[in-house]
Amino acid sequence: MRENESRRFDGDGIIPPPGEKWFTEIDDDDGKEESAEYHEDIEEHRHKRRRSDKPVVQEEIYDDENDVRKEYEDIKQHTIDHEPLEEPEKTPEQPKKRQHIEYKSRTDNNGAGFTLRTSDDKDPKKVRSRQDELETAEDVSDIRESILQLRTSLTVRAAVLLFATVFSLFISIANDLEQPMAAVFDRTINPSAYIFTNTILGITAVGFSYSTIINGLKSLFRFSPDSDTLISLNLVSAIIAGLVTLFDPESLKMGYFHIYTSSAIMLLFLSTLIKLGTVRRTLRGFEFMTEDGGLAAVQRADEEELSELRTKKNMNIAYLRQTDFVRDMIKNGYSSDLSDLFAEKTVPLIFIAALAVGGMSWIFDKHAADTQEKVFVLLSAVSGTFSIASAASFLMISSSPLSAACKKLLRCGAVMLGYSSVEEHADVDTVVIDAAQLFTGGCVSIEETKMLSAGITEEEALLYAADLAAAGNSVTAGALTAMTGCAPKPVNGCITEASMGVIGWIDSKRMILGGRALLEKYNVIGLPTAPAESRFAKKNGVVYLAVSGKAVMMFSAAINIDRRRRRQIQALEDERVSINIRSCDSFIKQDDLAVLFDIKPETAAILPVSCEDEYDVMTEPADSLPASMFCERDAGAFAMLLIAAKRIRYAANIGVAVQYGAMILGIVISVILMFMNSFAQITPTVVLAYDIIFMLIMKFLQSFKKV
């Protein structure tokens, strides 16, 4: 394996080369306990599995006819000796349940990102919306309509707030920089009009965003603040300061205090844009789910499942499970993120700091001539401290990387619904995937065929091989089906042997498709010698077809991995994720995987035989599943989801660190300037520049990690 890491960046756009960002900037794009059916007992599947895309209806077979007779006699005797047996009442569905890991977001706050909160949230403090959850296929049309209505409502709100933000910022910045403007908005000429205009714009913003303001204040009084709370405190404090100052607007001419309504409206506008992006992201995921017919939900194995794989370094296992319908999309799409956690931790500190700076103004500010003006300065100091301490960059902590990643993932056939996906799957260190999901899109080709018996024609042999390969989910199925040009037919009694091959019955004949070891195990005759097999293989894999205990054909299979898939697997290795592959193909070996993907030998391994039956039960297709991430049935899309989850968490943690710095620096600046009797230097323009600087810093640092 080459040590040069540049081998991993060949430029087809899936994993960006060094110097390029993983997340692309965009403007506005941003449980229930699972019940899974065990249809068959694990012990009945030991060392074998059933694989068939088309279900085969088979009659029940008893090995011993006496067992049936004995069972009947036991029931009859019980009826004579006791009360007649009553037929148990049938219920629509009585599935056996697996105890699955139940994902719980911070403080049971799942679905509590802002006003878009779902009606099934367990925390009564966080139920703020009548947005229904997607539970059944019958809900699809209603849920789509509710999402569209919410998008329309947020679009109208954003349009109004855009006007208010631009107009308020314009008159505030123009006055701060003493630029020419209409006299009516010049605070040195007509301060009452200036204050009145800003206050009316603030009240208008509240009117169009009342749910955000009300819910934010309710969260404050319930001692569970979130991002809406921080936005509400900014706007309410600015409006109160403006309304009170209207009693003596002439005092504003002196310039020793300011009105910060423009900063508060801008914060509300940015929050609305992020919410609108969240709704659009959820809608795109919803449409992907309803339009795509071949979905696989990303699931986590619980502590009892796949215990053979668990070590100190490999504890969190993820896998794909086929489903037709994904539940809990609304809750996961609107889930809380780290900006809510940041607000929860910092709102008390910012609130106390703002009140403290306001109280200090009563002592240290020497500009106010009387008590009335001291009140104006106090309210302005409180509002200004809120504005500079809650820099607008806190809204970007996780929304920016999440939005960019989701847009890119959708192009790869994968959907990440919200930040709950990151919290649930960012710590995954082991994945289990099917070989057929890993080697897709023509990765496997049949290089050469050779007949070993004259009992059947080559066309018949290829048809048999294609049927067996499809039934056993072999990686050769696509290539063989392409050679025959016919759709695979059902195979009776199909079982697979791990890393050995497939066995089944076709036309009352036992067929075996596999490697040399499997055929020798079942005493198949007509095999060529090992040297002859080696000469035929030419470094490719050799697969045999046996009919009724006799080898009839052999063919060589070659695996060719494109650069895109290779870099996806290498990216998983870079993120310290181990890969276990479920395979029935004899020519897929662990050492070959290391060479094929240019990874360390210990990164990828074949799933242990002891785990196969359990994995088969875990991955049986389900009609519906709750999931926060889902994709096409492809290992590449699966890998992209896990890689993105880890990188989003990294970027969000960096964003939290930056925002804490912005908050602490803002409070320190407010206190120092108040001590120096210079708090008036914090103008709305300064707050805007402060916000922009920290937004740029956050974007730069969040994009610092390369793949």
Q: Render pLDDT for 657-704 as a digit per residue (tens, 0 to 9).
A: 999 999 999 999 999 999 998 999 999 999 999 999 999 999 999 987
Q: How confident is the model at residue 144 (pLDDT cuts 50, 70, 90)?
A: confident
pLDDT of res. 74: 47
Q: Among positive and negative, which fits the CA dihedral 163, 164, 168, 171?
A: positive
pLDDT of res. 307: 79
Q: 666 with 391: CB under 8 angstroms?
A: yes
Please provide the distance, in angstroms rounded to a whole number, between the alpha carbons at the two ends of the chain. Answer: 19
Distance CA 349, CA 353 (A): 6
Q: How confident is the model at residue 644 (pLDDT cuts 50, 70, 90)?
A: very high
Residue 295's beta-bridge partner residues? 323, 632
Lowest mean pLDDT among 102-111, 376-385, 408-417: 102-111
Average pLDDT of the chain is 81
Q: 696 with 396: CB under 8 angstroms?
A: no
Distance CA 662, CA 681 (A): 18
Burial call 466-484: b when 16+ CB within 10 Å, e when fewer: bbbbbbbbbbbbbbbbebb
Flag whether pLDDT at 42 surpasses 60: no
Contacts of 104 (CB under 8 A, 6+ apart): 110
Q: Among positive and negative, which fits the CA dihedral 582, 588, 592, 598?
A: negative
Phi, psi (deg, nearest 5) at residue 300 = -110, 135
Phi, psi (deg, nearest 5) at residue 292 = -85, 130
* Ramachandran bin of 477, using left for φ above 0, alpha for ψ from -120 to 50, beta for the remaining angles: alpha
Q: 664 with 676: CB under 8 angstroms?
A: no
Helix, strand or coil for residue 488? Answer: coil
Q: 523 with 536: CB under 8 angstroms?
A: no
pLDDT of res. 331: 87
Lowest mean pLDDT among 139-143, 372-376, 377-381, 405-409: 139-143
* Rounded mean pLDDT, 21-35: 37
Q: Among positive and negative, which fits the CA dihedral 125, 126, 131, 132?
A: negative
Residues 453-459: contacts with CB within 8 Å, 24+ apart? 453/526, 453/547, 453/550, 453/551, 453/552, 453/553, 455/547, 455/550, 455/552, 456/547, 456/552, 458/553, 459/484
Distance CA 87, CA 303 (A): 37
Q: Which two tokens stand for residue 289?
A: 């789910």
Q: Which two tokens stand for residue 450?
A: 């050779």
Q: How confident is the model at residue 572 (pLDDT cuts 50, 70, 90)?
A: very high
Q: How confident is the model at residue 365 (pLDDT cuts 50, 70, 90)?
A: confident
Q: How confident is the model at residue 47 (pLDDT cuts 50, 70, 90)?
A: very low
Burial call 5-25: b when 16+ CB within 10 Å, e when fewer: eeebbeeeebbbeeeebbbee
Considering the four listed CATH numbers 3.30.420.40, 3.40.640.10, 3.40.1110.10, 3.30.40.230, the one that applies to the domain covering 444-559 is 3.40.1110.10
Contacts of 393 (CB under 8 A, 6+ apart): 655, 658, 659, 662, 691, 694, 695, 697, 698
DSSP for residue 6: G
DSSP for residue 602: T
Domain boundary assignment for the chain? 444-559
* Rounded mean pLDDT, 542-546: 93
Q: Could you report the per-residue pLDDT of 320-342, keeping only the tens digit for each?
A: 999 988 888 888 988 888 999 99
Distance CA 122, CA 618 (A): 27
pLDDT of res. 131: 62
Q: 658 with 400: CB under 8 angstroms?
A: no
**516 or 52, which is more confident:** 516
Location of structure tokens 């890998």: 639
Helix, strand or coil for residue 601? Answer: coil
Q: 600 with 1: CB under 8 angstroms?
A: yes
Residue 416's beta-bridge partner residues? 629
Taking each helix axis from N to C end, the angle separating 477-484 and 458-471, rounded to the nearest 10 degrees, works out to 140
Number of Cβ within 10 Å of residue 657's Cβ equals 13
Q: 286 with 143: CB under 8 angstroms?
A: yes
Q: How confident is the model at residue 44 (pLDDT cuts 50, 70, 90)?
A: very low
